[in-house]
Chain A
Amino acid sequence: DTGVSQDPRHKITKRGQNVTFRCDPISEHNRLYWYRQTLGQGPEFLTYFQNEAQLEKSRLLSDRFSAERPKGSFSTLEIQRTEQGDSAMYLCALPGPEKLFFGSGTQLSVL
């Protein structure tokens, strides 16, 4: 148990549809990270939150992507007008002492 729950585990959608993923930390954490992992590659940083504030965004996060953390607890990642290139595993992570604890991720498939 990594202390991070992600929902859904799998999402299949058609190109052009909007999707939303959710990350729920089991306990309070000031910081929360989102990463994206495509097949055969390591995770790539997307964005992170310090409480409710989104402090850094990767260039990978196009205008179609939006992330929120309304009360500094759970976070959502929305992708609008999905494209086939958005197919990937979306991972949420929480900081531990000099490490990250990752959730099991949401596997997105865009048909």
Chain B
Amino acid sequence: SQQGEEDPQALSIQEGENATMNCSYKTSINNLQWYRQNSGRGLVHLILIRSNEREKHSGRLRVTLDTSKKSSSLLITASRAADTASYFCATDAAGSARQLTFGSGTQLTVLP
């Protein structure tokens, strides 16, 4: 079953703009991860944030985590057409043997 919802379901922006995607989850977690999926392909890991962290950066990516609200956000700055993809959050719960539970994803379209 899906862990939670992602918001928005779809997002369309112009190249150079920032894109923000949100994720909510339901259970206690060890960490939260974000993955990217190009159409018809497998998922690629982008960034991980641990449950005791509040913010993390990697290149143009910024992830926040609010465990009290069970929510996370992914910010992509200075977007490029090549960022067009689906983005999924995934939670790694305690005792899960690293079985990830994914959200329903945000389809990001970056227009050139």
Interface residues of A (CB under 8 A from B): 2, 4, 31, 33, 40-45, 48, 55-56, 89, 91, 95-96, 98-105, 107
- Given A98-B48, A99-B48, A101-B45, check contact A41 B99 (CB 8 Å): no
Chain B min CB distance to A79 (Å)? 19
A-B contact pairs, 7 of them (CB 8 A): A33-B99, A41-B2, A42-B104, A44-B2, A89-B40, A100-B43, A104-B41
Contact stretch, chosen from B55-63, B66-74, B75-83, B90-98: B90-98
Number of A-B residue pairs at CB separation under 8 A: 62
Q: Can you list the 9 inter-chain pairs with the closest CB atoms, starting with the nearest?
A: A42-B102, A102-B42, A99-B45, A102-B43, A104-B42, A42-B88, A45-B99, A43-B102, A42-B105
Interface residues of B (CB under 8 A from A): 1-2, 31, 33, 35, 40-45, 48, 88, 90, 92, 97-105
